[in-house]
Chain A
Amino acid sequence: MSSNKYFKHEGPWSDANDPLMVSDTGDWRTKRPIVDKDQCIFCGFCAIYCPIQVMEMVEKSHFKPDLDFCKGCGICAKECPKKAISMEPEGDFQK
């Protein structure tokens, strides 16, 4: 390890041995993606095009977004070939 006794790390830069930094990006969302399980054909396009990579496989039958981190950009809804994902206003869920 570092011989520097003043800093915990080798230098004033980040150390990935610590827990990673996480922003509450789910809080940015204005629209929430809702997956229609029946219409989903399990093609995976939402998962690969999602910039945050939050679409999780559920039992090899459909995909589900991780709403803690989904920024609500709507790429999954736009790229879904079956239009199985709809974007609902986030305010509807806050009541």
Chain B
Amino acid sequence: MAAKKGKLTKVLDHLKHEDPFSKGVAFCPGCGLELLLRFIPQVLGNDIVITGTPSCSAPVLLGQNNQSWHKLSYFGTLMTGAAANATGLARYYKKAGIDNTVVCFNGDGTAADIGFGNLSGAAERNEPFIYICYDNEGYMNTGIQKSGTTPYGATTTTTPKGSISKGKNLRRMNLALKMAMHKIPYAATATLSDLDDLAKKLLKAKEAKERGFVFLHVLAPCTTGWGHAPENTIEVCRRAVKTNYFPLWEAVNGKIKMTKEVKKPKPVKTYTELSKKFVNMTEEDHQILQDDVDYEFCILGGLSQLEGECQLPVSAED
């Protein structure tokens, strides 16, 4: 006897547009980036222009030889000038009166390290485009080097585990909070385990883009670089949220609000045990990472509880 048919998940209602990508695309099995990349045009529509940099997304977005993997418009730029190029496109469309959405789609290497000056400048000028950072916590395409968002204790090829080096000995930066402090109309974090939340944030981003710069920070695990089993990609994201390692929040006009409250946060060890990059961490390392996570969440919790007077003036860009 067939099981009782339940309700279809609400996420499918957000997928109103067709998938512009060809089915067989050269991403690793279980890649978080592929899910994100197929999800964005299905929610925002196929009339978006993506700009991006050399990264894991570039071989697919740019195409190979004269053939293409997708039907979207793509503009490939350098890592040092990603946001500046998107600025030019967005200004052109605004001036020409063309209703278009420019999505600057970069990894954490561009957003947090190499192209951060551009990103910060574009946010300060309040340029009308969406900047999406897919955070796989390292330079995965070039061979898993550490980046500014790699967490404490993680093993990468430039912070290996050996007799002297014990994984990354520096703390990660909180890129999304840093961008929210640029007083932009919309900044948010999202991850792949909560696609309903991600779709809502993408739609809000498209709306807020009319008022200025939008920043989205999406945690997208990398099976090859992190060393977790391909089927655990979504589970890794879920545990990152449940341990407060990657809290989900949004800042609308500077007002920070948690979009997913975790009632009883689990210790960060439940997150790190899934990935091989954390396998060499000792108890003390875990304690430092836990303190780092707690510190970030403490600041975020404080900011989200501020009331009333911390609202940005709505006509800030005028």
Using a CB–CB distance below 8 Å, which chain A residues touch chain B?
Answer: 8-9, 12-16, 18-26, 28-29, 37-45, 47-54, 61, 66, 68-69, 71-75, 77-79, 82, 84, 87
Q: How far is the CA of A64 from the CA of B21 in the complex (A)?
A: 19
Q: Which residues of B contact A72 (CB under 8 A)?
A: 29
Q: Mark B3-34, 1 if CB is under 8 A from A, else 0.
A: 11111110110010001011111110111101
Q: Which residues of A contact B69 (CB under 8 A)?
A: 14, 20-21
- Among the listed B1, B22, B68, B233, which residue makes an inter-chain contact with A75, where contact means beta carbons less than 8 Å apart? B233
A23/B24 in contact, CB under 8 A: yes
6 additional A-B pairs beyond A14-B64, A43-B7, A49-B35, beta carbons within 8 Å, are A16-B70, A26-B24, A44-B12, A68-B23, A73-B233, A78-B235
Q: Which residues of B contact A25 (CB under 8 A)?
A: 23-26
| Chain B residues within 8 Å of chain A by Cβ, number | 48
Q: Mark B60-71, 1 if CB is under 8 A from A, else 0.
A: 001111111111
- Within 8 Å of chain A (Cβ to Cβ): is B267? no
A69/B23 in contact, CB under 8 A: yes
Residue of B nearest to A47 (CB): B12
Most interface-central of A38, A48, A69 (chain B CB within 10 A): A48
B22/A21 in contact, CB under 8 A: yes
Q: How far is the CA of A45 from the CA of B235 in the complex (A)?
A: 13
Using a CB–CB distance below 8 Å, which chain B residues touch chain A?
Answer: 1-9, 11-12, 15, 19, 21-27, 29-32, 34-35, 38, 62-72, 192, 195, 223, 229-235
16 sampled A-B residue pairs with Cβ under 8 A = A18-B68, A20-B68, A20-B69, A20-B71, A21-B68, A22-B24, A23-B25, A44-B11, A49-B234, A51-B30, A53-B19, A66-B23, A68-B23, A73-B29, A73-B30, A75-B233
B3/A41 in contact, CB under 8 A: yes
B32/A51 in contact, CB under 8 A: yes
Q: Which residues of B contact A28 (CB under 8 A)?
A: 29
Q: Which residues of A contact B24 (CB under 8 A)?
A: 22-26, 68-69
B243 to chain A, nearest CB (A): 19
A51/B27 in contact, CB under 8 A: yes
With A14-B68, A68-B23 given, is the CB distance from A82 to B3 under 8 Å? yes
A41/B4 in contact, CB under 8 A: yes
A41/B5 in contact, CB under 8 A: yes
B234/A44 in contact, CB under 8 A: no
A43/B8 in contact, CB under 8 A: yes
Most interface-central of A8, A42, A54 (chain B CB within 10 A): A42
Residue of B nearest to A77 (CB): B231
Residue of A nearest to B30 (CB): A73
- Among the listed A13, A37, A42, A71, which residue makes an inter-chain contact with B62, where contact means beta carbons less than 8 Å apart? A13
A75/B234 in contact, CB under 8 A: yes
B4/A75 in contact, CB under 8 A: no
Q: Which residues of B contact A71 (CB under 8 A)?
A: 29-30
- Among the listed A19, A44, A84, which residue makes an inter-chain contact with B9, where contact means beta carbons less than 8 Å apart? A44
B38/A53 in contact, CB under 8 A: yes
B3/A21 in contact, CB under 8 A: no
Residue of A nearest to B75 (CB): A13
